[in-house]
Amino acid sequence: MDGQMFFKKLNSLSTSKEIFEFLRSVEVMSDVMASGALQRISEVEVDCSGLKNPEEVLENEVFRALCFQFEFESSKLSNTGLLNALQALIKLRVDPQSTLIANLVSESEERLSNRKLTVENLCSLGESLLELEGPSYATLEQIVSHMQEKDIENWSPREMTMVYKILQVAVGEGEQCQDLLSRMNSATLTIACQLSPKFTSIILNSLVVLHQTRAVPLIIALCKHSVKHVPYFTDDELVNVLEAFLFFGHREQIFTEALETHVPKSIPTMHPETVSKVMQYCCQKTILSKPILDAVAESFISNADSFTTDQIVKYIVPFGTLNYLPPSASSLFGKLEAILHTRFSQFQPHTLLNLLHSCVLIQRYPVNFLPKIFSPYFLQQLQAEPPGLDRFAASQLTQLFLTVNLECPFYEGPKLLPKYQVNAFFTPHCSLDVHLFKRVKRGLLYLLKKRIYFSSEVSTPYFYTLDIEIKLDEEGFMLPATQCEEVHTRIALCVDGRNRFCVNSRNLLGEEAIKQRHLRLLGYKVVQVPFFEVESLKSCRKMAEYLHQKIFPHTYGHGC
């Protein structure tokens, strides 16, 4: 049978049983045909979980006969037959320590040293070695060296991807070969639009591992190109792409829109780790995607019993961070409470604290578990686990404690001892927008005439820092900011820049929402000054008029 007819028949077969029966009928096969048969077997018998029928394949007499020929006649094989067989056998999970694999690798390395391999051969060998645990770095570097003899600008997408993977494995963060990487980054930019979902994901992952933070044009191009591939990425590929967006700090609105279309309908078949990464992406980018969050909530209600504790935390925390309750909130937090009752001891201290803190941000109070959280035993565990009871953890504990005092008056369990409390909350997501803050202060000075009538960045006994505070007496007249007697009303002006809201939204982040809620419960009159209400006010006089209407609405239009 000639090669063309052989491969046409081979590719029409869909099970290893059919392939073995066909091979029995072929009297003479070239090594290319035999290696092609091994490749076809690997295509039909290997899926994401591995080899489907190990015994039926590896113990089959035809398969063993093929392996025997490749093992003992490796020096007589063509380059294509040798390298295709090696690639297929590695994919079929043949023992990498076996003499079969050792002989094929040894013969390949010898031909590499003797410069007998084409660029296509180098690609196949590189891909095979990368699949083996503990590949020879010297051999990988030799492949890259030989690859460079061909102009990088003429490398195919497959060749470019393979070299990125080799560099990722062989040189860590890429400092040793930055010149080569810089040339590859420039060349890849010209072929970015040709890359398949698999190649796009692999190259983005390599750029992360190799810390290519200066390759901004390539990163942007690949991130934009990845948008059209969102429906076609495997779980692992999508995780690589999301990690790249997070690592490089990049955000594409059209990528988020593609996720919103793809993820809700794909969640039932997605691995929980992939969903966790999608949630991490939304959380760190402060993206309030209701379609994704609603679908994730439904998935949690149905499947959370099979999740790891880390996955549970990654599913839930973004709801608190983004200050969002899905339509199924009652069932969602009911499910969470049931899991906590049965698996409480399985959670690591810091992840548990993070989980419960995120709940109180959106007014879901874990009162049944707070006695354990405030217990000396748990606090000792928290201190013993890195990073210990740092400022971030102490801030979360203190806010839980304050929430209990203000919003759960029926709680009668242990309290948080003063030695574990912070002086001021740590709120990294809700820092002041300095430019907006200066504009508001100038407008306030224009309105109040004197600087003595307001103070800025004021520490309180309640752990919160006020952006601006104004004091009034019982008749509503302003008092000097330094005066402590006869204060009847305290006005807390919250100067909310873009960073205190979810992206492209008027929804406050959880950290700021709980602060304003608590300040009201503590007796402050909270006046919110959001960026979207004042960004169009260009003059100091316009800002003063706006502040007058917000702070003193009863006198607005009647003079101060």
The SS3 of residue 115 is: coil
In this prediction the pTM is 0.85
Tokens encoding 181? 């990487």
Q: Is the pLDDT of residue 559 over 50?
A: no
pLDDT tens, position by position, 201-217: 999 999 999 999 999 99
- Reported as a single tens digit per residue, the pLDDT across 438-450 is 999 999 999 999 9
Backbone phi and psi for residue 464, each to the nearest 5 degrees, phi listed first: -90, 150
Q: Residue 174: pLDDT above 70? A: no
Rounded Cα–Cα distance for residues 365 and 349 (Å): 18
pLDDT at 172: 56
Residue 499 to residue 514: CA distance in whole angstroms: 15
Specify the pLDDT at position 193.
Answer: 93
Q: Given the structure tokens 């309750």, which residue do they identify?
A: 325
* Rounded CA separation 356/396 (Å): 9
Instruction: Categorize the per-residue pLDDT at 384 as very low, low, confident or very high, splitting at 50, 70 and 90.
Output: very high
The Cα 47–Cα 473 span in angstroms is 74
Q: For residues 72 and 408, give the distance between their C-alpha atoms in angstroms, rounded to a whole number.
A: 77
Helix (H) or strand (E) holding 409: none
Q: Which residues pair with 275 in a beta bridge?
A: none
Alpha-carbon distance of 440 to 239, in angstroms, equals: 42
Query: What are the residue boundaries of the structural domains of the chain, listed by start?
Result: 1-116, 434-551
| Cβ neighbours of residue 329 closer than 8 Å, sequence gap 6 or more | 297, 364
- Which DSSP letter does residue 7 get? H
Higher pLDDT, 28 or 318: 318
Mean of per-residue pLDDT scores for the chain: 92
- By CB atoms closer than 10 A (0-12, 13-18, 19+), residue 510 is buried
**Given its phi and psi angles, is residue 83 left (phi above 0), alpha (psi -120 to 50 degrees) or beta?**
alpha
pLDDT for res 36: 94
Domain spanning 434-551 has what CATH number?
3.40.960
- For the chain, first and last CA: distance in Å? 100
526 DSSP β-pair partners: 492
**Cα–Cα distance, 262 to 449 (Å, whole number):** 55
- Eight-state DSSP code of residue 386: T
User: What is the rounded distance in angstroms from the CA atom of residue 143 to the CA atom of residue 137?
Assistant: 10
> Could you give the angle at which helices 61-72 and 99-113 cross, rounded to 10 degrees?
40
Nearest CA-CA partner of 244 in 204, 273, 278 = 204
Structure tokens at 276: 């966790």
Model confidence band, residue 176 (pLDDT cutoffs 50, 70, 90): low
Q: What angle do CA 150, 156, 160 make, to 5 degrees?
A: 80
Taken in order 263, 265, 269, 272, is the CA torsion positive or negative? positive
Q: Would you state the pLDDT for residue 521?
A: 96
Helix (H) or strand (E) holding 408: none
Q: 3-class SS at 129?
A: helix
Task: Work out the number of other CB atoms within 10 angstroms of the CB of residue 354.
Answer: 20
Contact predicate 488/472, CB 8 Å: yes
Looking at the DSSP bridge assignments, the partners of residue 465 are 459
Tokens representing 150 are: 């061909």
What is the pLDDT confidence band of residue 465, given thresholds at 50, 70 and 90? very high
Q: What is the 3-state secondary structure (H, E, C) of 490-512?
A: EEEEEEECHHHECCCCCCECHHH
**How far is the C-alpha of 127 from the C-alpha of 312, rounded, in Å?**
36
CA–CA distance, 417 with 464 (Å, rounded to integer): 18
**What is the mean predicted confidence (pLDDT) over 534-556?**
90
Contact of 51 with 93, CB cutoff 8 Å: yes
| Residue type at 101 in one-letter notation | I
Chain-centre distance for alpha carbon 356: 21
The predicted structure's pLDDT at residue 560: 39
pLDDT in tens, 337-381: 999 999 999 999 999 999 999 999 999 999 999 999 999 999 999
Q: Is 86's pLDDT higher than 90? A: yes
For residue 313, is pLDDT > 80? Answer: yes
Nearest Cα to Cα of residue 196 among 254, 154, 157? 157
Ordered DSSP codes for 290-323? HHHHHHHHHHHHHHGGGS-HHHHHHHHHHHHHTT
* Cα–Cα dist 135/165, whole Å: 12
Measured CA to CA, the distance from residue 315 to residue 321 in angstroms comes to 11
Q: Which residue has the tokens 């706006």?
A: 546
Where b means 16+ CB within 10 Å and e means fewer, 294-313 reads: bbbbbbbbebbeebebebbb
69 within 8 A of 89, measured Cβ to Cβ:
no
Instruction: Quote the CA–CA distance of 294 and 300 in Å, as a whole number.
Output: 10
